Structure 1
Amino acid sequence: MRIVIFGAGLIGSQLAAYLDGQGHDVVALGREAGIDTTTGEGVAEAVAGAEVVVDLTNSPSWADDDVLAFFRDSTAHLVAAGAAAGVRHHVILSIVGLDRLTDAGYMRGKLAQEEGVRAGDVPFTIVRSTQFFEFVPGIADASTTGDTLRATPGKLQPIASADVVARLAEVVTGAPAGGVVEIAGPEVVGIDELVRRLFAATGDPRTVVTDPAAGYFGAALDDTALVATPGAGAWIAPTSYDDWLATRPVPAN
């Protein structure tokens, strides 16, 4: 199967290697490939002959207007090029709970991406994932002032990126769902607790203070917004957070 992946970051690079190992004809294209999905430059040539297009692109700016423009324009060009090329399946990776957290500009941008896919002429699957284990250190850094980190007890249901890749590969090589597929990790846990367990595993000396007002990248977070949707039949990944921490490479000093 000829599969073109737009976005060669954490998930895209792993997915390309995974699918290649299964014998598929796959290429992952990052920004260095000279393709600009926001203008459409090079997109038609990239999708020529593809059976499946996987959109793992991300906005280089998190400013609200920039994110919205990126996902709106990028999706329009990818879907239009895919329709013209006869692509049979368009897959995007989205976020569990994004429609419950629309006070965050990034979530509104991802909603625009989903809407663009739904409005297009290519059969599609929207894979909504919970947050990745690999992003917990970044969440911690964004919440730190001096030696103190203020973290919300609001809940996440995080997942290992390797598990995302394994499930995403099944979706990519399967039939279009024509809707949303949810995937999530095996444990629902507060962000404050996720950070404490990370610091215990890595020996980080920062102090973690539980603060319900801390929020999540500018959005207020409760215990339900970013966990698997009840009744949605989410696929639950096998890797636990503690198992991932035990095998995570220790950063060099």
Structure 2
Amino acid sequence: MGPVIGEILPLALGIAISPVPIIAAILMLLSPQAKGVSVGFLAGWVVGIIVTVVIFTLLSGLVPDENPDASKPIAGTIRILLGTGLLVLAATQWRRRPVPGEKAALPNWMAAIDTVTTGRATFLGFLLAAANPKNLLMAIGAGVAIGAGGLTRAEEALAIAVFLLIAASTVAIPVIAYVVASRRMTPPLESLRDWLVTNNATVMTVLLLVLGMVVIGNGIGSL
């Protein structure tokens, strides 16, 4: 089980460090209906991660069993394709970065977060986890690693739980902290929001580049 955990940890961190859902959660925490919409967003985020990883874990489990000591060309090829996709997304992020002196702008949907309802916040959290290309590729990679890792069902459930705990942490921590101590959290949340908005493209480019190379390396090692 150790090698599987080692393979999914970078992917979980990749989802956790994604600036967009963190910014969305912070904007909700600074909105008039902070607690309701932020908790709803966190719930959707968690469910989206679980659904995606579980689906691809089950699909990977349909691949014929292989000798654990033998090469795994199917899983290796999938990993190489996923890693290549992450590198393509890294290049796209870099091209879209603000030019020097240009102020980074929030997407239009973020500008309307002040009016979002709890139900819409939950759906948005689910979409950002399950339908965002960057997070989807990392969740698929985790599902492939878990499903093709030769684990028992209990071990697969534990690996998914570890992945979820890390991947959801950066959204869960500010939401929980705000619920516990809302007044103290407002100034640091505003500073973190501004930093993430400014450095979103750079953070994602470096993150996707590193993860893409890691996933490709794991794929080559499986061939």
Q: TM-score, normalised by structure 2?
A: 0.25
Q: TM-score scaled by structure 1?
A: 0.23
Q: Which has the higher contact order (CA 8 A, sep 6+)?
A: 2
Higher helix share: 2
Structure in which a larger fraction of residues adopt strand: 1
